[in-house]
A and B are shown apart, each in its own frame.
Chain A
């Protein structure tokens, strides 16, 4: 069973559908980029995947050990965070908030987990520093470490490189590719950066009213939607040179199907 299976999903606000007939699946180890114009329903889709918003119709099923609150989410930065007095350590630890039940304080396990993720992302030396004094790239690393504390299987990133300088952008993409390939963490990323999407992703989901696309990166590059969208963003030749041959990660399918749950228009969750 895939980690996420979207069947004929319709999303929208107050009765107005923004996205219709959305069908796609995400398997463990995939690197899915969600691209599309502004207002095409990308952020609504993210909310639906996180179970913060029920689809108007259709089902979103979670399986292969994944729960909606087990997705590590990296939201876009808010105004509040820009001058928030918090140390890096405090923020990374808050990633454990969903998993430690009713205890009032973080235990040894949560602290070690946070420390391990800070070490892996190379921000241990910053742990006592104030978040608002860090560079954009460092801030994203902090938020990535927090997201990793919340998940074992899947990261969901909303425009993770917007506002970063070019060097930090490359660093961020490098980190994500490494997490994806070495740790087999599924990555779903919403991005405006379609060049990077076709460079790093294994699958592309192009969201818009019509036409729509879901499939592997290679198929996207050949498809009409993909060509039109890419040529608008960058001349086709330079784009192809940027695509390394066959770097798509191998898929690891769990043969053992674990129980999953579905999110439907009724708003309730049913276990399957």
Chain B
């Protein structure tokens, strides 16, 4: 077994994938806590479909680096979804469902109509489930991952108390003089960026799992906000590492394996939570 790992890890692209995977898992789990608590669990799903649509459009338009198209489009969608959610009468979940299905359909349509690729099904499949994309990460992609993770972690540490205040009670925070809209905007932008990166790891259909599972698992066990955030980050990193290693060992799809690890962790945490409450 160790021989297999040593062989695989002698390739730089495997090391990149491992590092990037862990960093992405860390970022998405941090975000997840506040998204789940704010009842925005589905935002990840919606945005990833938008990102899929944008990626399809980028492929069709033959843009060299598709992140340059996907990131701005997703950020824009995130701002629309998270920042107008409170005021409009068209409620959050309906808007998310609409946008995500719409983007998915458009993306697939574009690919079918205009793609020059010989293996269309394979392309779509890897964008949706991220099966092989993680191994084709370039050095630049990994650097972007590292940079973004550092930014996200700094954002969380510096604004920790404010994020708590806004998540727990928006009206109170606003009444106490906080500019709540700015935090919504920041969280929207960070969410979109994390999702665009995570697409390479888990594919657009599986990203939500990276966002919601660690947070939900941590909530079974911990009762303070700090505890939940820390546990969620640790769990997510562990699951991602384990998932990547297992996928190498049994040559299973990376994204799906990580999500299975997250599910298993959720099951264990629920069980432990029930036992401790007794």
Q: A residues within 8 Å of B by Cβ?
A: 50, 52, 68-69, 71, 73, 75, 78-81, 84-87, 90-91, 93-95, 97-99, 104-106, 128-130, 133, 146-147, 150
A-B contact pairs, 23 of them (CB 8 A): A52-B175, A68-B177, A73-B171, A73-B176, A75-B172, A80-B39, A84-B167, A85-B219, A85-B223, A86-B164, A86-B225, A87-B223, A87-B225, A90-B226, A94-B164, A94-B165, A94-B168, A97-B165, A97-B173, A105-B160, A105-B161, A133-B223, A146-B172
Q: Is the CB of B164 within 8 A of A52?
A: no
Question: Which of A81, A93, A98, A130 sits near B178, CB closer than 8 Å?
Answer: A98
Contact of B38 among A80, A91, A93, A128 (CB under 8 A): A80
Tell me, yes or no, whether B110 is within 8 Å of chain A by CB.
no
**Which of chain A's residues have a CB closer than 8 A to the CB of B225?**
84-87, 90
A147 to B159, CA, bound (A): 21
Give Cα distance in the complex from A91 to B160, angstroms: 13
Contact assessment for B176 and A95 in the assembled complex, using a CB-CB cutoff below 8 Å: yes
**Are B175's CB and A73's CB within 8 A?**
yes
**In the bound complex, what is the Cα–Cα distance between A133 and B173 (angstroms)?**
23
By beta carbon, the residue of chain B nearest A102 is B158
A151 CA to B154 CA, complexed, in Å: 30
Tell me the complex Cα distance, A71–B177, Å.
10
Cβ-defined contact, B175 with A71, below 8 A: yes
B205-227 interface (Cβ within 8 A of A): 219, 222-227
**A133 contacts which chain B residues (CB < 8 A)?**
223
Interface residue ranges of B241-260 to A (CB < 8 Å): none
Question: Assuming the A-B contacts A84-B37, A130-B223, are A97 and B171 also in contact, with contact meaning beta carbons closer than 8 angstroms in the complex?
Answer: no
Residue B228 is within 8 A (CB to CB) of chain A in the complex: yes
Tell which of B171, B176, B222, B226 touches A150, judged by Cβ atoms closer than 8 Å: B176
**Chain B: CB-nearest residue to A77:** B169
Min C-beta distance of B119 to chain A, whole Å: 45
CB neighbours of B176 from chain A (8 A): 69, 73, 95, 97-99, 150
Across-interface contacts of B157 in A (CB, < 8 A): 104
Cα separation A197 to B83 with both chains bound (whole Å): 38
Query: Do B169 and A78 touch across chains, with their CB atoms under 8 A apart?
Result: yes
State which of B39, B160, B175, B227 has its C-beta within 8 Å of the C-beta of A50. Answer: B175
- In whole Å, how far is B277's beta carbon from the nearest beta carbon of chain A? 10
Q: Give chain A nearest CB distance to B187 CB in angstroms.
A: 15
* A230, chain B: closest CB distance, angstroms: 30
Contacts of A95 in B (CB 8 A): 172, 176
From DSSP, what is the main secondary structure of chain A's interface residues?
mixed
A105 contacts across to B, CB distance below 8 A: 160-161
Report chain A residues within 8 Å CB of B219.
Answer: 85
Look across to chain A and name the residue whose beta carbon is closest to the beta carbon of B38: A80
For B161, give its contact among A71, A73, A80, A104 (CB under 8 Å).
A104
Complex contacts, B169 vs chain A, CB 8 Å: 75, 78, 81, 94
Within 8 Å CB of A80, what residues of B?
37-39, 167-168
Quick one: closest A residue to B221, CB to CB?
A85
B15 on the interface (CB 8 Å rule)?
Answer: no
B269 CB, nearest partner CB in chain A, Å: 13
User: In the complex the two chains form, what is the Cα distance from A174 to B201 in whole Å?
Assistant: 57
Name the B residues within 8 Å of A99 (CB-CB). 176
Interface residues of B in 126-161 (CB under 8 A from A): 157-161
- Closest residue of A by beta carbon distance from B277: A133
The CA of A68 and the CA of B174, in the complex, are separated in Å by 11
Decide: B161 and A69 in contact? CB cutoff 8 A: no
A104 / chain B contacts, CB cutoff of 8 Å: 157-161
| B224 near A86: Cβ-Cβ < 8 Å | yes
CB of B162 within 8 Å of the partner chain: yes
- The 4 A-B residue pairs with the shortest CB-CB distance, nearest first, are A98-B176, A69-B177, A130-B223, A87-B224
Q: Which residue of B lies closest to A103 (CB)?
A: B161
Shortest A178–chain B CB gap in Å is: 23
The docked-state distance in angstroms from the alpha carbon of A90 to that of B165 is 9
Question: Given the complex of chains A and B, what is the CA–CA distance between A73 and B162 in angstroms?
Answer: 17
Q: Is the CB of B172 within 8 A of A90?
A: no
CB of B218 to closest CB in A, whole Å: 8
Q: Which residues of B contact A93 (CB under 8 A)?
A: 161
Q: Is the CB of B164 within 8 A of A90?
A: yes
A133 to B174, CA, bound (A): 26
Q: For the complex, what is the distance from the CA of A93 to the CA of B200, rounded to whole Å? A: 39
CB distance from A180 to the nearest CB of B (A): 20
CA distance A94 to B178 in the complex (A): 12
Question: Which residues from B are CB-within-8-Å of A97?
Answer: 161-162, 165, 173, 176, 178
A257 → chain B closest CB, angstroms? 23
Quote the shortest CB–CB distance from A108 to chain B (angstroms): 15
Q: Are B37 and A94 touching (Cβ within 8 A)? A: no
Complex contact A75–B171 (CB within 8 A): yes
CA distance A259 to B159 in the complex (A): 32
Q: How far is the CA of A130 from the CA of B165 in the complex (A)?
A: 16
A190 nearest CB across to chain B (Å): 14
